[in-house]
Structure 1
Amino acid sequence: MDLRLTLPALLLALPGVAQERTVPPSPVLTDALVQAHRHWLGQGEVKRDRSRAAELYLKAAEGGDAEAMAHLGRMHFRGEGIPKDAAQAMTWLKASAAKGNARGLYHLAELYQNGFGVPVNHAEYARLLRQAADLGSADAMAELGQCHEYGVGMGWDPAQARSWYERAAEQPKSRFYPMTLAWMYQMGSGFPKDAEAAFGYAKLAAAQGYMDGPRRMGLNFLNGTGVPKNPQAALEWFTQPDALEDPLALVALAEMLKSGNSVKKDTDRAAALYRQAAKAGAPVGMYWVANCHENGIGGPVDFPQAVLWYTKAAEQEFHWAYPRLAMLYHRGQGVTQDDNRAVRWLRQGARFGSAYSIYLLGWFTQNGWGLEKDGAKAIDFYQQAGERGWVQAWYQLGHCYLNGDPVPKDLSRSVDCFRKAADLGWVAAQHQLGWAYQNGLGVTQNLTEAIRYYQMASESGDESSMNQLGWFHAHGLVVVKNTEVALGLYLKAGARGSKTGWWNAGLLYASGEGLVSRDLGKARHAFAEAAALGHVGAMVELGRYLENGLGGPRDIDLALTRYKQAMEKGDEQAKAAYLRLTMPPPVDEDLDDLPLGRPIEEPE
């Protein structure tokens, strides 16, 4: 079915837009439009002056120029050179759209996307984008690709997403807003990924005075996109006057302050910036205000306030909020525990394209929380979430097939799912693949591949993979035997909180195999670290070191404490050692034979 509309049908379809015949602007108005563009961009001898540009756009718009109406409406929407004004933005953009202007339709769609002067309505946003795209708007074509890619306002359809991206990429670059080209090159949507091109178009957007230009430049410097990482430069862009009027830039600045990313950590100011973005009407700001209340950032934990602000964000169709609300209802935090209500939020999130909501529907279905327990449906939800980009869904599917719950055990399919998650950067899946190749679980055993995946996960900080790599180096399997390298990996894992890492390091120090020398002091320290993290074998070994004064002073009381800890966890060796130290010595049989009351003579 051809969804494209003829121009008369397009005009009649617009809510509140009267049909009007397009009238070419007069030469005077055309000149006003040209002069407006020059003042907006600062071309030639004309100095950039957005206020003067707004005056000239208004003059042209009042004379019936649809293009000028679109620019003026956008300026009222974004507060570029004139104050933000939802009513004026809606008036001028509807008037422009009524004349069949693609730019007017595109910006009118943005109002529905952002809830500026109207309730958020992603379906209307997508519909208006389609109309603008059919009239030749390259920006609308690109955004339609996003809508199909993420299921925003329409069905999720990767093939349609690719089609719209490719169609947009065929348009002359002069027909795009620079920011659209910036994200298309950054994401590889329609064009090959090109970080330098993305940076160049973001820089052009900032130079031309678009409100989102400084934010994008800040993000480029923060993330090293097309330019070396430079958090200080990012901070300078985020604090420019235009950026401080951009709610999304406020959120980006808050993220820097919350994490202490190359700036002094300031969670109080971060929380204040989130509130500022929320008060400006940005759903992402509302979400982060809720997140601060949920996690005690910039103030005490306040679950009722978290529920309130997540609900505000959800009412603006901000899909991140739905799964967070669902989990608060599931756990009964800030509200009465209610899995049925949680499921309703998850269904709403799924309807608006939240892959995490779809994943959680699988989890709730697998466990029978607010939904009938159904393994097949749970698997289907996980599959949908994975296909929509939720990496954890592939990892969960991998475990379902690995453990045979709630589907029959299938090691080959388990590996396929882990591989999808691993290829998307899920570290735990990379470790799981290493284990599968090491032990031939669902694949032909291949120690080289096992090491490759362990190395991949280890570089991302996975301590279990560090321990496995250490084991390969310690035993010289596939790699050259190198105890020093193994020790380094064990210590690195231990420093990240791995009790196994400390245990393995202790064993190497104790044996001295492949090291410069045996070191019982370092062994004792490593066993103490492992014991503190709950390693039962380390508790027993530390008890032995303390009992016998190995690697440090003898301490029977502390040895007893360590033996008792291990004994309480069921260790028989620890129990024997504890009883040996606490039982009274056996009575001499010869003394038992002496008559009562007879004095014991000292030996001669």
Structure 2
Amino acid sequence: MENRLNLDFLKVEFRKLYTEINNIFNYKGKDIVIHFKSIIEYIILIIYDKNKILYDDKVGLNENITRLYNKELITVKIYRAILLILSQVNIYYQCRSDEDEIEWFNDFIDKYKGKIYEVLVFMAVKCGEENYSLILNGLDEDEKSIFTQYLNDNENNKVEDKEENKIALYESEGSGEDKDSDEIKEKVSRLVEAGENYYLGRGVEKNNKEAFKNFIEAAKYDSEIAEAYLGLFYERGFAVERNYELANKWYSRSAVKGNSFAQYSLGCLYLNGTGVKKDYQKALIWFGKSSESEYSPAYYQLGRMYYNGYGIEKNLKFAFKWYKKAAEDNLPAAQHALSYMYKTGEGCERNIVRAYYWLEKAAENDYEDAYYIIGKSYLEGICFEINYEKAYHYLKKGYEAFDTDCIESLADMYYSGLYVDKDVMKALDLYNKSIECGNTNIFFKVGKMYEDENMIDEAIDLYDMGSKEGDLKCIQRLGIMYYNGELVKRDTEKAIKYIEIATENKAPHAMYMLAIAYLRVNKFGEDTTRIVKKLLEEAYELKSQFAAEYLAFLMLAEKKDGKDINEKKLLEYLEFGFINGVVGSLFQYGYIYEKGIAVEKNLERAYSYYRMAADKDYVKAIVKLASWYKVGKFLPQDINESIKLYTKAAEHNDIEAIENLINIYELGMGNSKSDIKALKYVFNLIELDALKGKCKLAYYCLAGIGVEKDENRAKEIIKEIEDIDKGTADNLRSVLAEKSLISMSQDEIISTYMEGIDLGNPDCYGNLAVYLYNNNLYKDKKYEEYFKSAMAGKELGIKKCNYIYLKDILRKKEENSIVTEEEIMIVKDLRDMVDKGIYEAINDLLEWYNMRDKTDDKNYYELKKQAVFYNIKRTKKKYKKKFSRQETLNVITIISVFILIMIMIYAMIK
């Protein structure tokens, strides 16, 4: 051996140790000896680790070495060699200078290099996993002698299995023949060819057992090809039981002879830790050797190692280089990897065209991971022009490879009829196939498709499957369906159960839905609003735009009730909803500008927001604009535009719009009377609100509106209403009696209204108040308490009660001779009542202008116009003019003077 030890055998399994020992010659001064001692300690640690013994840091190095000896884990010869080396290392303490130590170290290496080498060989053979017998041919005699000693010792102490005995047997069987003779070479060639024929099914029926027999026979003569095949058979379990250890041995025998496939396969075993301890350094070495033979899969693996930094510093440029070499050799996995690097610009200049070029190459070479991306690209025109034929081609290949994404996209093509005939049922079958193959991302998508096809049971089954997989969309959809009663029987409790599951996963939309559900059922009584707000605020913090919209809605409702609100927060909610495309926030912006909440009142801006929301089919905005056209607010009064918008909202089953259409056609507003159309919308109303609709129908049957008069049918309907809600039936009977359509006395009408009030019917409050007031019964002591009970509806927000309240105050103000500002404000409030649908207030206002303010021709004639528009019949009221004392004296004086003049004229005539 030369002065520097030949330690190449350490490269494969103990590369770190190899590097450290070589570096020691580059140290200067006393650091040399200190470092060498740490190397000895590292060797001891390797032996401890291999034998799964805990190294004791509390005792010295010598003691730990002695423990190995006592446990018979190192021989006496190695034990003495290590102690001798350490004793010589300790001499460094006697050195006086760095120069002395360097001189000493060189002498030490020259003198003890044999013992150092022997310790390292012992450690490698006993602690390594490689078959070091394979490297003997490259050693000098001294080195070979040391290796042979410990290799033989290893064989004697190891119980070998049958296959290892076979290997030794094959070596001995072939040893008597001249393996280099032409005859043997020809024999081996025939065996290998026969093995390959059976393995590939080339010219014969495929038979791995026969292939194995031929390869094992050829391996007796050291055929590297046969040995490589045997490694493959043991690795994959072809014809024999899978055995990674034997795969490693056969690959190793072939690899050292230079077989590129075996070298590559051995690298894969070490890279993945398959049957051996994972070792990136060994993998790198074997891939490097295989690449020297231009084996393209090795190029690819080297690319992987550089890309991921496996056992080597990450280097994207080198990764790109190796991937490109493999890709150009038509290796599909490398083509796919190279495509990704071009797409991301890692290790190269970003180039999407090149990325898709190499990706399609991979797909052409049947690389399954490329099918979906290329197929989808042709389907949607990503990088390529849309080509449904090519899309179908690649997606079909993916379908045959059971790629779930490809199956899904193929289903999309059948569902939409792209390149293939549209076939919804085939598409749904493919979607289900994708799910069966493990695609858990499309439960919601396919469920919605089943909904569209009105296959509700199938849709619910998929949503249920998705909910069990934790799919939040499916969970939320089930919650919404049961909450709204969409396609299923409404079940709020079941809805809350589903939505609560999604809420636990911090799904913001689920939090929003849960808050709405809690409000609907008043889940926590008086505490519900507080809990709902907290839930909505949490959803808003998680960026739920719908939560922001509803928080704004709650704040606006509080403002309407006269409560103070945080206007800055209101605007924050509105802005968040608006910028995130919530149409409801557009409507709310319109509302705050209409009412002047948190902003200056501006009807033009209010209209612009309402219009934007209406253009997006937001029903509330459509109804709002319809009402503006009806009453002429900001917009010119136009019944045709109003009807057009109400009709559009009615198509969305909006009850308010339907009720307005009924009133327009029934009353003939704007000369639009149509009993048939009114009746049509009554039937629409019945479908949405049975009580309201049937009340109208009963009235129509008695009044003969749109149908022939049918008293019996009306009675049946009233009885149906009573079975549902007696309070509503009481209100209806009283209203019909007022219109003289059924027979009831005055007291019966009043008592029936009162019964409805006791049952909580809100309409009874206002109708009774109007009835008592207009019939001048409200001051009658007999009915005073009834009137008081009816007017309690004012506190409940009943519009007719507020109308009577204003009307009564106005009547009292009229007793004064002078029109006050307060009186004018009351007139204004009554004018607003007309816009709210209390059309009878028009007559009260006309009479007021006629008697109290004849100078205001503009408002007077505007009201007369409105009376015509709303088809309100004029009712005249007799006012008794009251004169002041001075006015009375003036009148008496005038009359006296007139009489005196008449007497004088008479006297003159006489």
TM-score for the superposition, normalised by structure 2 = 0.37
One-letter identity of the residue aligned with 1:287 = Y
Quick one: which of 535, 544, 551 aligns to 1:325?
A: 551
1:512–1:430 distance in 2 versus 1, CA, 3 Å:
closer
Aligned partner of 1:64 in structure 2 is 337
1:424 maps onto 2:652 in alignment: yes
Q: Please state how far the C-alpha of 1:253 moved relative to its aligned partner.
A: 3.5
> What secondary structure does 1:389 align onto?
coil
Identify the range of structure 1 (488-497 vs 395-404) with the bigger mean alpha-carbon deviation: 488-497
Q: Aligned equivalents of 1:69 and 1:484: distance in 2?
A: 83
1:371–1:514 distance in 2 versus 1, CA, 3 Å:
closer
Quick one: which of 135, 138, 141 aligns to 2:380?
A: 138
Cα pair 2:376 2:409 within 8 Å, conserved: no
1:411–1:504 distance in 2 versus 1, CA, 3 Å:
same
Aligned partner of 2:511 in structure 1 is 286
Quick one: which of 519, 530, 534 aligns to 2:756?
A: 530
- Taking the TM superposition and a 5 Å limit, the aligned residue runs for 1:219-230 are 225-227=452-454, 229-230=456-457
Q: Aligned equivalents of 1:288 and 1:25: distance in 2?
A: 52
> What secondary structure does 1:64 align onto?
helix
Aligned partner of 1:472 in structure 2 is 700
Q: Please state how far the C-alpha of 1:339 moved relative to its aligned partner.
A: 1.9
> What secondary structure does 2:660 align onto?
helix
Q: Please state how far the C-alpha of 1:318 moved relative to its aligned partner.
A: 3.3
Quick one: which of 471, 474, 479 aligns to 1:254?
A: 479
One-letter identity of the residue aligned with 2:469 = L
Q: Please state how far the C-alpha of 1:497 moved relative to its aligned partner.
A: 5.3
Aligned partner of 1:435 in structure 2 is 663
- Taking the TM superposition and a 5 Å limit, the aligned residue runs for 1:54-203 are 64=337, 136=378, 138=380, 203=432
Q: How many residues align?
A: 424
Q: Please state how far the C-alpha of 1:448 moved relative to its aligned partner.
A: 1.5
Aligned partner of 2:638 in structure 1 is 410
Q: Which has the higher contact order (CA 8 A, sep 6+)?
A: 1
Deviations 1:511-532 (A, max 9, x none): 99999xx9xxx99997675343
Q: Aligned equivalents of 1:526 and 1:180: distance in 2?
A: 66
**Greater helix fraction, Structure 1 or Structure 2:** 2
Q: Aligned equivalents of 1:27 and 1:489: distance in 2?
A: 85
- Taking the TM superposition and a 5 Å limit, the aligned residue runs for 1:234-313 are 236-240=461-465, 243-255=468-480, 267=493, 271=496, 273-291=498-516, 299=524, 301=527, 306-313=532-539
1:372 maps onto 2:588 in alignment: no
Q: Please state how far the C-alpha of 1:368 moved relative to its aligned partner.
A: 0.6
1:398 maps onto 2:626 in alignment: yes
Instruction: Quote the sequence identity (%).
Output: 18
Q: Aligned equivalents of 1:302 and 1:243: distance in 2?
A: 29
Aligned partner of 2:311 in structure 1 is none
1:317–1:197 distance in 2 versus 1, CA, 3 Å:
farther
> What secondary structure does 1:320 align onto?
helix
1:326–1:178 distance in 2 versus 1, CA, 3 Å:
farther
Q: Please state how far the C-alpha of 1:477 moved relative to its aligned partner.
A: 3.4
Q: Aligned equivalents of 1:314 and 1:568: distance in 2?
A: 39
Aligned partner of 1:460 in structure 2 is 688
Aligned partner of 2:57 in structure 1 is none
One-letter identity of the residue aligned with 1:405 = K
Q: Aligned equivalents of 1:187 and 1:322: distance in 2?
A: 36
Compare CA radii of gyration and give the structure with the larger one: 2
Deviations 1:275-328 (A, max 9, x none): 442453533223234445666766564556544543444455433122112234
Cα pair 2:483 2:517 within 8 Å, conserved: no
Deviations 1:316-370 (A, max 9, x none): 543312211223444669x982123212221221111110000010011100111
One-letter identity of the residue aligned with 2:702 = A
1:211 maps onto 2:440 in alignment: yes
Deviations 1:385-442 (A, max 9, x none): 1111211110011112222334443333222221221223222212212222223324
Q: Aligned equivalents of 1:377 and 1:406: distance in 2?
A: 11
Q: Aligned equivalents of 2:515 and 2:791: distance in 1?
A: 46
Identify the range of structure 1 (528-537 vs 396-405) with the bigger mean alpha-carbon deviation: 528-537
Q: Please state how far the C-alpha of 1:472 moved relative to its aligned partner.
A: 2.3
Cα pair 1:464 1:498 within 8 Å, conserved: no
1:323–1:140 distance in 2 versus 1, CA, 3 Å:
farther
Cα pair 1:186 1:198 within 8 Å, conserved: yes
Q: Please state how far the C-alpha of 1:457 moved relative to its aligned partner.
A: 2.1
TM-score for the superposition, normalised by structure 1 = 0.53
Cα pair 2:619 2:649 within 8 Å, conserved: yes
Q: Please state how far the C-alpha of 1:198 moved relative to its aligned partner.
A: 8.5
1:500–1:359 distance in 2 versus 1, CA, 3 Å:
same
Q: Please state how far the C-alpha of 1:247 moved relative to its aligned partner.
A: 0.8
One-letter identity of the residue aligned with 1:391 = V
Cα pair 2:639 2:670 within 8 Å, conserved: yes
Q: Please state how far the C-alpha of 1:259 moved relative to its aligned partner.
A: 6.8
Q: Aligned equivalents of 1:219 and 1:538: distance in 2?
A: 47
1:393–1:511 distance in 2 versus 1, CA, 3 Å:
closer
Cα pair 1:238 1:253 within 8 Å, conserved: yes
One-letter identity of the residue aligned with 2:544 = F
One-letter identity of the residue aligned with 1:458 = I
